[in-house]
Amino acid sequence: MDAQAVLELAPDSQVASSATRLAGAAGWTGLGRTPQVLWGSCPGSGKNPYRVCVDLGDRATKCSCPSRKFPCKHAVAVQLLHARGEVAVEEAVPDWVSDWVSKRHAVAVPLDTSPEAEERRARAKEKTARKRAEAVRGGVVALRDWLSDLAGSGIAGLPGRDAAWWHAITARMVDAQAKGLATAIGELRDIVAAGGPQWAVDAADRLGGLHLLARLSEAAEGPLSDVVRTRLGFSVTEEQVRSAPGWSDRWVALLRLETEDGPLRTVQQWIWGRDRAEWVVGVKHSANGAKPPPLLPHGSEVTGTLHPYPGASPRRVAAGELVAERPADAIPVPPTWRDALAGLEPALRADPWQRLHPLGCAGVRASGDVRFLVDEGRRGLPVRGDVALDRALAVTGGEPFDAWGVWDGHSLRLGAVAEPGKAPEVVA
């Protein structure tokens, strides 16, 4: 299992980020592994280090820390160390590790493949799924109560709330196994903490999104139900996604956004499917501050198969068989910003919690103050003043150009430009 797959085991982004920092920290002792189990000790807040071990077969974990998150940051961190090849094979297994393994496998018997046994396992799996659904349902009820109290007190008091108040509701969502809700509350807290003239508007927007998600948690039907499940925190593994049929096409990786959460780095790519005429999204993570490799070669046109995750357009995808790579040809682009923004309506209806959207427009110019990109109808869209914009203006030399970027509802983060009707050139 590589570092990307290990990070996806984390119950939320906070655990993933903390685990990445721990994996790069000094102080680990007693690290070791066999083909079956992995272990180590990590300094904690008490006088004794936390002991953590991992079953490398099913990735079950055991840690002596008091965390209520599962797996905890120590369990994810030791697996990151293992993924990076920093844990040596040891012949002698500590007693505390052997005891845990023995207890886990004390009643191990050869797998019964009879129809009756298969049926029992299926029923057990269904029971586990029902218990998870019930736990999430309880978390949604708690969220509704929290939102109701907040509506009564108003959002003006949010900056004055202490860390314990935020931790209580976040921990409740983690206990309910609703990591999507825990992450959303963490993002709300970050908005409040950042302040600025727009914080109240952005906070109200996020609270509205949480309220809508709580209302639809039981009522969503059809494709929207997949979106709601994903937003609540239900997930599928990349292996499951790649085992399902994929989409064969000519793919152009045109837009890219890199983010950091401590030493955890994430790269997102918005990829245009030429035959499907739609965008998809590739996501890659890396630990220890390393730059994650993109899903596809950026700026190129790749012939191959991508496998979609459940959800709404633009669908997240996993890479399948990639056959050939070549320079990208021209891709279609809306004639005006009004057409481009109107084209987002289906995506917003399908997933109203999506915050980032690929957006393009033909024949734009920068405004005199370089704060807007203005289309042929003299309508402007705010653009981020960054290195990508500087490169775009240098490449186009003041002439009109086709532009593509990532729109967050406030401004466009420019990612690619082209002479009108020509092949795009990435600038970020």
Q: Which structure tokens are listed for 26?
A: 């000094």
Q: The tokens of 218 are what?
A: 């039981």
Indicate whether 149 pLDDT > 60: yes
- Report the pLDDT value the prediction gives residue 202, as an integer from 0 to 100: 95
Q: Residue 17 in contact with residue 289, Cβ under 8 Å?
A: no
**In the sheet where 412-418 sits, what is the strand order?**
380-382, 372-374, 357-366, 401-407, 412-418, 425-426
Lookup: tokens for 233:
């925190």
- How many residues can be counted in the chain? 428
∠ CA 1-72-32, nearest 5°, is 55
Compute φ and ψ for 161, nearest 5 degrees.
-75, 140
Contacts of 278 (CB under 8 A, 6+ apart): 272, 313, 314
E strands present in 341-422: 357-366, 372-374, 380-382, 401-407, 412-418
- pLDDT above 70 for 64: yes
Through-space distance between the first and last CA atoms of the chain, rounded to whole angstroms: 30
Residue 367 DSSP one-character state: -
Three-state DSSP at 69 gives coil
Quick one: what percent of the chain has pLDDT higher than 70? 98
C-alpha distances in Å from residue 318, one per residue of 255, 301, 305, 410: 17, 17, 9, 29
Does pLDDT of 111 surpass 80? Answer: no
pLDDT digits (tens, 9 = 90+) for 270-305: 999 999 999 999 999 876 556 788 899 999 999 999
User: Above 90 in pLDDT, residue 45?
Assistant: no
Write out 19-62 in H/E/C secondary structure: HHHHHCCCCCEEEEECCCEEEEEECCCCCCCEEEEEECCCCCEE
The Cα-based distances of 101 to 67, 95, 105 in angstroms read 21, 10, 6
Encode pLDDT of 364-420 as tens digits.
999 999 999 999 999 999 999 999 999 999 999 889 999 999 999 999 999 999 999
Is the pLDDT higher at 110 or at 77? Answer: 77
Is the separation of the CB atoms in 66 and 56 below 8 Å? no
Specify the pLDDT at position 216.
95
The rounded distance, in Å, linking the Cα atoms of 392 and 370 is 12
State pLDDT tens for residues 201-218.
999 999 999 999 999 998
For 79-117, b where at least 16 C-beta lie within 10 A, e where not — what string? bbbbbbeebeeeeebbeebeebbeeeeeeeeeeeeeeee
Distance CA 119, CA 91 (A): 39
Q: pLDDT band for 113, please (50, 70, 90 cuts).
A: confident
pTM of the model: 0.74
Is the pLDDT at 422 greater than 80? The verdict is yes
Cβ-in-10-Å burial (0-12, 13-18, 19+) of 22 comes to buried
